[in-house]
Amino acid sequence: MRLLFGTGNQAKLSVVRSFEYRKATLEDMEELVRTRIIVLRAANKLSDDVDMSVVEKESYAYYKSALENGEHIAYLVYDNGTFIGAGGVSFYQVMPTYHNPTGKKAYIMNMYTAPEYRRQGIAIHTLDLLVKDAREQGVTQIALEATDMGRPVYEKYGFIKMEDEMELI
């Protein structure tokens, strides 16, 4: 399911515990790629024996380029130095439209919270940081794909289901 977050949506946030949310740099590529593989395995219900070497290699190349040129922002979340979560947003440009006169768009991806830390406000706080970064860059349309587990978090934030989008696979 793809969800869209446009202008005018409001979110109510609640963070129960204090964790460290840090914007990722090139020095964090190992953690970013490791998390990407975890997210893809979970979202696609893949076992650990499924070969992800090509995706891993291409993810390194993506992060290197996109972090350097600002096309991607990611946050890593820690609890006393232990990695517990992540999230990212990619930016892209399309032709301007009536509803999006700048043509700037963002796509939220790679949202992850370690199982033992779920339901503590980590995902929604990470999402809020990503949305604020997108808004600061003038983005008015933000989309994402939601798993069944993640959908309630995104809907609570204000994302809505997109009914008229199509995709060719």
Q: What angle do CA 137, 140, 144 make, to 5 degrees?
A: 100
Main-chain dihedrals φ then ψ at residue 5, nearest 5 degrees: -120, 115
Residue pair 127/109 in contact by the 8 Å Cβ criterion: no
Gap between the Cα atoms of 86 and 114, Å rounded: 9
pTM listed for this prediction: 0.85
Q: What is the mean pLDDT of residues 4-9?
A: 52
3-state DSSP call for residue 106?
strand
Give the count of beta carbons closer than 10 Å to the beta carbon of residue 20: 13
Q: Which residues on adjacent β-strands are paired with residue 86?
A: 76, 112
Angle, vertex CA 126, rays to CA 38 and CA 65, nearest 5: 65
**Cα distances (angstroms) measured from residue 97 to each of 6, 46, 136, 161, 166:** 14, 38, 20, 20, 18
Please report the domains of the chain, with CATH numbers, ordered by start residue: 2-23+71-161 (3.40.630.30)
Averaged confidence pLDDT in the chain: 89
Q: For residues 27 and 22, what is the distance between their CA atoms, to the nearest angstrom? A: 12
Q: pLDDT (tens digit, 9 = 90+) per residue, 94-144?
A: 999 998 999 999 999 999 999 999 999 999 999 999 999 999 999 999 999
